[in-house]
């Protein structure tokens, strides 16, 4: 195993990692996985409490997803999607359209590419509609939409962004509705609506050169699982409609059941706009990735409205959407995604998770009452809290201490969170709660 760690240090450049720190804090070598567990070459087991960076839904080596991919391997592993098509991509597109209310699925390979696609499509829509000056973007303070150059332009995490500032396009950040920032005595809802007013003030002046507002619905993951009131989404839908700016909903982290509904935007209270006819909140673009394949294969999708699609439809090639990736609509990834949708349907996962989430919240009651814990929060299958007395290096120390307890976690700053696979049992959750408790009880962490 030491050999593998030496070789990874020499040959692999790990993501979001100061490689020098790998000397003191080597990566966990994983030989196999099973349900919610990761297993190292010596057979030690670690509970994957953060679903391998939020991608895993139904456990590692899930027999049903394995079977779907294996079956697809015997048919066609990949064919380019320009000039060809195949059943898995067609079926997946049809099913995502039924589930989201948006269609015309355009595929990429990861979350950041979905953000790029949505931004380009939005600006190109306005160009095709005779308003090329509408090409600016608005995002939330502390928002995260990926780290390629275009996506990083709408991301607002200083650690990821400031070094590359010179490469980025100027975008505007509006206040985050993060409920922790409410004034004393102010409800999370009142605070969220106050933040929406700030968006309106910006739109009132700048809508003419703004293409879209991009937002993580209900939870800003990379900001440290910042949660906010769903009324914000309804209000921004109304504002985007009024000011003719696209609403891009980035469901990359929270889609596929994480927040308790299949998609987070579904929790937005109905629109009050009488004239629109449609009452439910519907984005202009939805970005999906991460859980879409159950954490098996890289795949992302952007879905949009008939109106956006129609603006690209015509005789001129340059009026069409000019974007492609070699692995667009990869059949193996699409089959994994179809198997994931089958599991949601056949096992009534959303309803089952509702019960499970309540049990898990009860199991975490003692953790939530710990003296070092502030802002304990929960939504669907996400639990998070901030550690009040966290000293520099807290996240790394907590990570190592949790590993010693048989749990794989990576706090974000002073925020500890659990985002377990949906197959996690109450017993496994009790083990996780005990491990977190033990880490918090150690004043050296
Ligand atoms: C992870 C994430 C992305 C980027 O996805 P990658 O696959 O890592 O490029 C974009 N938006 C949100 C909300 C995310 O959590």
Is the CB–ligand 1 distance for residue 217 below 6 Å? no
Q: Which atom of ligand 1 is nearest to the CA of 112?
A: 9
- Reduce the DSSP state of residue 212 to 3 states and report it: strand
Task: Judge: domain 31-61+348-441, CATH 3.90.1150.10.
Answer: yes
Distance (angstroms) between ligand 1 centre and the Cα of 49 equals 18
Quote the pLDDT of residue 276: 59
CB 372, CB 438: distance < 8 Å: no
Distance (angstroms) between ligand 1 centre and the Cα of 221 equals 9
Question: Ligand 1 pocket check: which of 253, 327, 382 to mutate, most ligand atoms within 8 Å of Cβ?
Answer: 253
Distance (angstroms) between ligand 1 centre and the Cα of 112 equals 6
Mean pLDDT of 154-180: 97
Strands 382-387 and 373-379, bridge-based pairing:
antiparallel
- Residue linked to tokens 């199991």: 363
DSSP assignment of 181-210: GSPTT--HHHHHHHHHHHHHHHHHHHGGGE
CB 192, CB 232: distance < 8 Å: yes
193 token code pair: 């609506």
Residues 6+ apart with CB under 8 A from 150: 115, 116, 119, 120, 169
Q: What are the phi and psi torsion angles at 286 (to 5°)?
A: -125, 130
Is the CB–ligand 1 distance for residue 419 below 6 Å? no
The 10s digit of each residue's pLDDT in 357-392 is 999 999 999 999 999 999 999 999 999 999 999 999
pTM score over 0.75: yes
Q: Which atom of ligand 1 is nearest to the CA of 253?
A: 15
The 10s digit of each residue's pLDDT in 225-258 is 999 999 999 999 999 999 999 999 999 999 999 9
CA–CA distance from 275 to each of 232, 272, 278 (Å)? 20, 9, 8
Task: Judge: domain 66-346, CATH 3.40.640.10.
Answer: yes
Distance (angstroms) between ligand 1 centre and the Cα of 293 equals 14
What residues does each domain of the chain span?
A: 31-61+348-441, 66-346
The 10s digit of each residue's pLDDT in 40-57 is 999 999 999 999 999 999
Question: Which value, in Å, is the radius of gyration of the alpha carbons in the chain?
Answer: 22
Is the CB–ligand 1 distance for residue 266 below 6 Å? no
Q: Around Cβ 171, how many Cβ atoms within 10 Å?
A: 19
The 10s digit of each residue's pLDDT in 322-370 is 999 999 999 999 999 999 999 999 999 999 999 999 999 999 999 999 9
Quote the pLDDT of residue 280: 85
Is the CB–ligand 1 distance for residue 144 below 6 Å? yes
- Reduce the DSSP state of residue 414 to 3 states and report it: coil
CB 214, CB 230: distance < 8 Å: no
Quote the pLDDT of residue 277: 65
Distance (angstroms) between ligand 1 centre and the Cα of 252 equals 6
The 10s digit of each residue's pLDDT in 118-135 is 999 999 999 999 999 999
């Amino acid at each position: 195993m030491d050999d593998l760690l030496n070789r990874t240090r020499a040959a692999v450049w790990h993501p979001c990692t100061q490689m020098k720190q790998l000397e003191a804090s080597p990566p966990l070598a994983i030989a196999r996985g099973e349900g919610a567990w990761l297993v190292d070459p010596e057979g030690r087991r670690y509970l994957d409490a953060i679903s391998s960076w939020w991608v895993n839904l139904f456990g590692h080596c899930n027999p049903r997803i394995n079977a779907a991919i294996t079956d697809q391997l015997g048919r066609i592993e990949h064919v380019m999607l320009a000039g060809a098509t195949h059943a898995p991509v067609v079926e997946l597109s049809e099913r995502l359209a039924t589930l989201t209310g948006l269609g015309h699925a355009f595929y990429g390979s990861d979350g950041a590419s979905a953000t790029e696609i949505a931004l380009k499509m939005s600006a190109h829509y306005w160009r095709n509609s005779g308003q090329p000056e509408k090409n600016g973007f608005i995002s939330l303070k502390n928002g995260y939409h990926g780290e390629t150059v275009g996506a990083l332009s709408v991301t607002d995490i200083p650690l990821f962004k400031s070094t590359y500032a010179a490469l980025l396009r100027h975008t505007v950040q509006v206040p985050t509705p993060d409920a922790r920032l409410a004034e004393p005595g102010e409800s999370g809802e009142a605070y969220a609506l106050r933040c929406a007013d700030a968006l309106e003030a910006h739109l009132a002046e700048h809508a003419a050169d703004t293409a879209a507002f991009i937002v993580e619905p209900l939870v800003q993951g990379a900001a440290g699982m910042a949660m906010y009131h769903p009324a914000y989404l309804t209000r921004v839908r109304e504002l985007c409609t009024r000011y003719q700016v696209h609403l891009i909903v980035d469901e990359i982290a929270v889609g596929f059941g994480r927040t308790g509904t299949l998609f987070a935007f579904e929790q937005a209270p109905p629109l009050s706009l009488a004239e629109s006819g449609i009452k439910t909140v519907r984005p202009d673009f939805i970005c999906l990735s991460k859980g879409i394949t159950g954490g098996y294969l890289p795949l992302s999708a952007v879905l949009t409205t008939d109106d956006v699609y129609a603006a690209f439809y015509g005789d001129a090639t340059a009026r069409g959407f000019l974007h492609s990736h070699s692995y667009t609509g990869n059949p193996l990834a699409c089959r994994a995604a179809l198997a994931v949708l089958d599991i949601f349907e056949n096992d009534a996962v959303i309803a089952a998770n509702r019960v499970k989430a309540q049990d898990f919240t009860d199991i975490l009651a003692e953790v939530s009452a710990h003296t070092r814990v502030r802002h304990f929060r929960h939504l669907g299958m996400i639990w998070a809290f901030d550690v009040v007395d966290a000293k520099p290096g807290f996240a790394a120390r907590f990570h190592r201490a949790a590993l010693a307890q048989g749990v794989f976690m990576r706090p974000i700053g002073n925020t500890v969170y659990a985002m377990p696979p949906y197959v996690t049992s109450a017993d496994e959750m009790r083990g996780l709660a005990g491990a977190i408790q033990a880490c918090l009880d150690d004043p050296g962490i």
